[in-house]
Amino acid sequence: MPRARRASRPRAPRKRAYHHRDLRQALVAAALDVLPDVGAVGLSLRDIARRAGVSPAAPYHHFPDKDALVAAVAGECAQLLLDALDAAVAEAGDDQRRRFQLTGIAFIRFAVMYPAHFRAMELPGMLAKMPAPIRRRFESFYAEEERRMREAQRQGLIAPFPFDRLILAATALVHGLAHLIINGATEATPGDVEHAVRLARDVTAVFGAGVLPRATLPARKKK
């Protein structure tokens, strides 16, 4: 007599395993979510694992410690920003005043497109935490722009303000406008990149022209 077949147990659904690259990116994304609030010191790999939905041991397959994870975040932030800046200088060519404006606009575009990256990048010491090759590229870019700006000042193409104050004013402008946009404090809706860029063009044009009255102001280009 044939033996009765044992009823097969229903199999528990398998939890989808992260692929090699998926897990690394999931951990970076989870770190980006919390870094602006807790800083690099307050970051916990156990908490990041929980947020990414993996075991506490899983992050160690990619990052030996939280410093390595922070370095990966810093590197991703810098890479995205550098891509935006490279595109801006390629568009501007050798016109240094236009490069100055377009790199400012590119920074604001980066902040609006990637607000978590922008906030993380503003944390103290993030530049020093970047992987060395990206940090060197980042430093090289800004060193070249400083050289070009100083030369433009020497040629009388840019007003002879003290250089550090000129850069501080420009940095305050683009960082401040980026914060206002992504925090919803301007007419540009957070995430509306096209509107943010139009606003950035207008505001950087005011910076470039200055606010002192003059007989003739440069004509505004049609949009």
Q: Read out DSSP for the chain?
A: -PPPPPPPPPPPPPPPPPPHHHHHHHHHHHHHHHHHHHHHHH--HHHHHHHHTS-TTGGGGT-SSHHHHHHHHHHHHHHHHHHHHHHHHHHHTT-HHHHHHHHHHHHHHHHHH-HHHHHHHTSTTHHHHS-HHHHHHHHHHHHHHHHHHHHHHHTTSS----HHHHHHHHHHHHHHHHHHHHTT-SSSPTT-HHHHHHHHHHHHHHHHH-SS--S-PPPPPP-
| Nearest C-alpha neighbor of 81 from the set 41, 28, 128, 139 | 139
| Joined tokens for residue 131 | 């992987």
First-residue to last-residue Cα distance in the chain: 88
**Does the pTM of the predicted model rise above 0.85?**
no
**How confident is the model at residue 212, as a pLDDT?**
78
d(CA 155, CA 167): 18
User: Which domains are present in the chain?
Assistant: 20-208 (1.10.357.10)
Residue pLDDT tens, the chain, 223 long? 444 444 444 444 344 445 545 899 999 999 999 998 899 899 999 999 999 999 999 999 999 999 999 999 999 999 999 999 999 999 999 999 999 999 999 999 999 999 999 999 999 888 899 999 999 999 999 999 999 999 999 999 999 999 999 999 999 999 999 999 999 999 888 889 999 999 999 999 999 988 878 665 556 555 5
| Nearest C-alpha neighbor of 125 from the set 71, 166, 168 | 71
**How confident is the model at residue 217, as a pLDDT?**
55
Whether 119 and 81 have beta carbons less than 8 Å apart is answered as: no
d(CA 96, CA 103): 10
